[in-house]
Amino acid sequence: MFIRFRSILGVFYIAISLFSFSVTADEKEDKEVEEPATKENVLVIVGDVVGELSLFEESSTASRLGLSSLETPATVETITSDVMRARGYQKLSDAIESLPGVVTGEHPTAPSTFSIRGFTRGQVTVLRDGLWIGPSTMVMRPQNTFNLEKIEVLRGPSSVVNGIGAVAGTVNAITRTAKQTDTNLVETLVSYGEFNSHHLGVNASGKMGEKSWYNVSVSDYGSDGYVDRTDLSSTNLNASGLWHINENLGIKFSVDHLEDDVGSYFGTPLVPISVARDPLTSAVTTERGETLDGATRFNNYNVEDAVAESEQTFWRLDFDWQLADNMRLQNTTYSFDAEREWLNAEGYVYCTQVVGTCTEIGTVQRYYGYFMLDHEQDLIGNRTTLNIDSQFGDMDNRFVIGAETISVDFERARGFRRSAPQVPGDAVDLYDVVPGVYGPRELRGISPTEIDTLAIFAENALQVNDDFNLVAALRYDEMDLDRKNFNASGELEANGFSREYDWTSWRLGAVYNIADKSMIYAQYSDAKDPINSNIFLVNNNQDFDLTSAKQWEVGMKSIWMDGNAETTISYFDIQRDDIFERFSLDSATNVGGRESNGIEISLTMTPSENWRFGANASYTNAEFLGSANFETLAGNTPPNVAEVTANTWLSYNNFAELPLEIGFEWHHVGDRYGDNANTVKLKSYALFDIFAAWKADNYRISFRVDNAFDEEYVPWSDVFYLHQDSPGFIYANQLMLGAPRTYRLSLETNF
């Protein structure tokens, strides 16, 4: 097994040995190599930093060469903890949706999913501290920003760096971690807001000994939710310890534990416009003459004993060894264990006629919408990289080679309401909901899936001259997949399968310095993936070959106005063939290909000591492509892709010569379609948020109002909950409404 992998790996390591032997330390005598984890942990009082694009920051998400955003031939965005807290972002999705062209979804079935560059859901990879822990649509959770150091976003196909599923981009949530510092610091957060929402956090960091440091973060979030009986909660603990054995070798141990409940609000039923007491036609319309009823905006149609909980633990051990002035070896060994429990009446259909399970016109039927699900996931992985800095003639060269192994054991048990007799409690009144309870559980089956992946990768950056830099990357993957399906009686079904995949991804780019701190760049990337990154839904009749994604991108990045302004602009074009879309809770269907192109612009500036301003905008043109076997959706716009998005934020410090900061943020998302057939239109919306903050040396008190004008809108659509209401299977026809106007008061301290 993996003969080709071993052969290629051997060739790579022989090349490394020969290459490193030819590179001498005196070639790099004028170069400084950073020792492991040397940055200080310094707190900036919330509000002091707003809107930086972090173009000088290194991004491990975009490259393992230590390149800054300016040096990288791709769109790379970094949102630091200071920016997140200054703008009041409590969840990862709050921060991501402030970026150009990003639309976010918070449906409980796939929390914190994104639309980027015309692609959605599993085609956007989400990493935890740079590591893949599973398909984002199955493992992603709403993440508290308090525990995060920063969020990095790399746009476009990036499987050459980050592996499976990275077609539209990669979102990397990076937690706070132990760092070398001489300062002991404790930070706290206490926040309370509407709907009994609270957010508490404590972070402690500092020195344990002469050569050891620590960081511990704990946060707790809870809310009744803006919809009745939603009851969201999240508790996150991450801790790490760093030990410098000597000046060249560092060891870090980390643990990240999360327990959460994503809530029980699954949507509001679509109803005929003629029936609605308060038709929200400014938020959604359908070709069937439906909309949402504002009179049901805060109703929850789920059962009283709904469950949507998870518990997960992420362990990792890092070694960082400076072998020589020009050579650095790093290794990360990690494990991820998760259990998720699911029991909900999550599908609702407003009955317009007596047919199938609809026994009374005007009621909301839930009979086929009962769904139970249990996940048991165990993952073990290891990544090793070797960085070598050298001279190629008179040119500086940076090179990294690495290997990665991941083994996943994922058991998915699920059940649907099928044979239990229908009872009156399965239907509820549209306006006066009596939730009832889930009732008898029916197990459909259990699907254990094992995935073993091995990969090798290499990157190189050649500084041709002071103004011109060439960057290339190559990755080879092999994956063994074994999928079994057992029925409720434990008998093996015939629709499982086993298969071996192998594929190569690559990227080539160039960066040219047109002026001081102003760069233009271009890149071409080619990626291969299994046909559906959420491989846990694919059965033997969907056992297709690899799918291909290609992108070319050009852009400019600039720092100007004496460093007080930053600008980025990019144009992209992506094509992907043979895409699977999820059409139901338990299956995916081939919908042909997809292409997108567009432009993204970002600007931040500090025009004076007190004023801070930022803005971004995007235009995206995306459509489905036909294939030899599927033409139905060709030419349609994929769901949740907005043609136009825009964001603006402005703040003023020392208002009225007081330690008072005031500001606002405006977030616009254009029209989108809610379904693949383009029969459901989600109307454009704009949210206006305002805040005021009183600041001192070691504390900040802030008051914030989100959605100040109480906009009624639909932020996201899950296609398998729309128009699934044929007479033989009346399952779901609903959408989730966004949060109304809310407020919160926060106190942040450091000492």
Amino acid identity, residue 697? Answer: D
Beta strands 169-175 and 185-193, pairing class: unpaired
Task: Label the pairing between strands 593-605 and 197-209.
Answer: unpaired
- Pull the structure tokens for residue 726: 């044929």
Contacts of 118 (CB under 8 A, 6+ apart): 168, 574, 594, 595, 596, 598, 620, 621, 622, 638, 641
What SS3 state is found at 219? strand
- pLDDT number for residue 1: 41
Instruction: Provide Rg for the chain, Cα atoms.
Output: 26
* Total Cβ atoms within 10 A of residue 231: 19
Residue 524: both structure tokens together: 């071409």
Give dist(CA 105, CA 101) in Å, integer.
14
Residue 209 to residue 545: CA distance in whole angstroms: 54
3-state secondary structure of 65: coil
Q: Which tens digit of pLDDT belongs to each residue from 58-92?
A: 888 889 999 999 899 999 999 999 888 888 898 89
Pairing of strands 124-128, 169-175: parallel
State pTM to two decimals: 0.89
Query: Nearest CA to 159 among 405, 511, 472, 477?
Result: 477
Q: Tell me the two tokens of residue 316.
A: 């990792």
Q: How many CB atoms lie within 10 A of CB 335?
A: 16
pLDDT of residue 531: 52
Number of Cβ within a 10 Å radius of residue 368: 23
Both tokens of 683, joined, read 């109307």
User: What are the tokens at 671?
Assistant: 């029209």
Model confidence pLDDT, tens digit, residues 306-330: 999 999 999 999 999 999 999 999 9
Query: How open is the CA angle 560-563-568, to the nearest 5 degrees?
Result: 50
Closest CA to 269 of 699, 632, 570, 714: 714
Residues in the chain: 751
Sequence ranges of the domains in the chain: 3-750
Which residues of the chain have a pLDDT value below 50? 1-51, 532-533
Q: How far is CA 524 from CA 165, 505, 573, in A?
A: 18, 11, 10
Other Cβ atoms less than 10 A from the Cβ of 552: the count is 17
Query: In 3D, which of 453, 431, 510, 399 has the Cα closest to residue 164?
Result: 453
Q: Which fold has domain 3-750?
A: Maltoporin; Chain A (2.40.170)
DSSP state of 383: E
Instruction: Name 197's bridge partners.
Output: 193
Going by C-alpha positions, the residue among 170, 226, 160 that lies closest to residue 193 is 226
Q: Which residues, including other chains, have CB under 8 Å from residue 7's CB and lie 6 or more apart? A: none
List the one residue out of 725, 740, 49 whose CA is nearest residue 357: 725
Q: Are strands 232-246 and 249-261 parallel, antiparallel or unpaired?
A: antiparallel
pLDDT at 483: 86
Asked whether 299 and 336 are in contact (CB, 8 A), the reply is no
**Cβ neighbourhood burial of 97 (10 Å; 0-12, 13-18, 19+):** buried
| pLDDT on residue 11 | 34
